[in-house]
């Protein structure tokens, strides 16, 4: 029973790292995002990026900063644990909203999967290698209206977001 319990704890730890990755990106919290990969960990995002995890964050940070909003969700997480190593597949949906052009916004919604190899080093689970599989995307114009006016929400892409009042 203790091995099964340890596996469940590991799966929860890995799941929370995946969630922190999304939260780190969406809140533009680089310190949080930096905890996702081990030092020297790599990421293969197909045609858009191939290199270290830290290199990916260096690349994606200004791309996301130039957008009006973005939201990442992780679902269907499958994890197999083998001692201090693990593999996982997690479905991801990313919604990206670009700045308005001629009174129109553009939403890009991508759906894919993160295939990750993990290890536990110094008591911390993090990614050794990630491969992103792009399943499909769609792009569509969105009219600027009161509902799409992001100035009327208290959501923020920094530590002024209300979630930071709850999680310290």
- Tens of pLDDT, residue by residue over 103-160, are 678 999 999 999 999 999 999 999 999 999 999 999 998 877 666 666 677 777 778 8
Would you state the structure tokens that stand for residue 96, as one six-digit string? Answer: 């990206």
* pLDDT of 148: 64
* pLDDT of 159: 86
- Give 91's strand partners: 75, 113
CA 94 to chain CA centroid, nearest Å: 8
Residue in 111, 113, 121, 112 with CA at minimum distance from that of residue 35: 121
Instruction: Report in angstroms the alpha-carbon separations of 64 from 41, 61, 124.
Output: 21, 5, 27
Query: How far is Cα 128 from Cα 125, in angstroms, rounded to an integer?
Result: 9
* pLDDT of 89: 98
| Confidence label for 102 from pLDDT (cuts 50, 70 and 90) | confident
Cβ–Cβ < 8 Å for 55, 36: no
CA dihedral 13, 51, 71, 17 (to 10 degrees): 10
* pLDDT of 47: 93
Q: What's this model's pTM, rounded to 2 decimal places?
A: 0.89
Cβ–Cβ < 8 Å for 154, 165: no
Task: Give the tens place of pLDDT for each residue, 29-62.
Answer: 999 999 999 999 999 999 999 999 999 999 999 9
Query: How far is Cα 159 from Cα 27, in angstroms, rounded to an integer?
Result: 7
């Amino acid at each position: 029973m203790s091995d099964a319990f340890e596996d469940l704890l590991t799966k929860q730890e890995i799941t929370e790292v995946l969630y922190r990755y999304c939260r780190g990106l969406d809140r533009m919290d680089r310190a949080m995002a930096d905890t996702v990969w081990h030092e020297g960990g790599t990421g293969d995002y197909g045609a858009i990026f191939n290199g270290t995890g830290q290199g990916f964050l260096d690349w994606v940070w200004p791309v996301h900063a130039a957008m009006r909003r973005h939201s990442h969700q992780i679902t269907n997480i499958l994890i197999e644990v083998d001692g201090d190593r693990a593999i996982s597949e997690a479905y991801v949906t990313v919604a990206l909203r670009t700045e308005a052009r001629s009174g129109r916004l553009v939403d890009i919604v991508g759906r894919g999967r993160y295939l990750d190899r993990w290890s536990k080093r110094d008591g911390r689970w993090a990614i050794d290698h990630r491969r992103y599989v792009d399943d499909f995307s769609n792009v569509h114009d969105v009219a600027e209206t009161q509902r799409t006016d992001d100035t009327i929400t208290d959501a923020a892409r920094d530590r002024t977001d209300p979630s930071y009042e709850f999680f310290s």
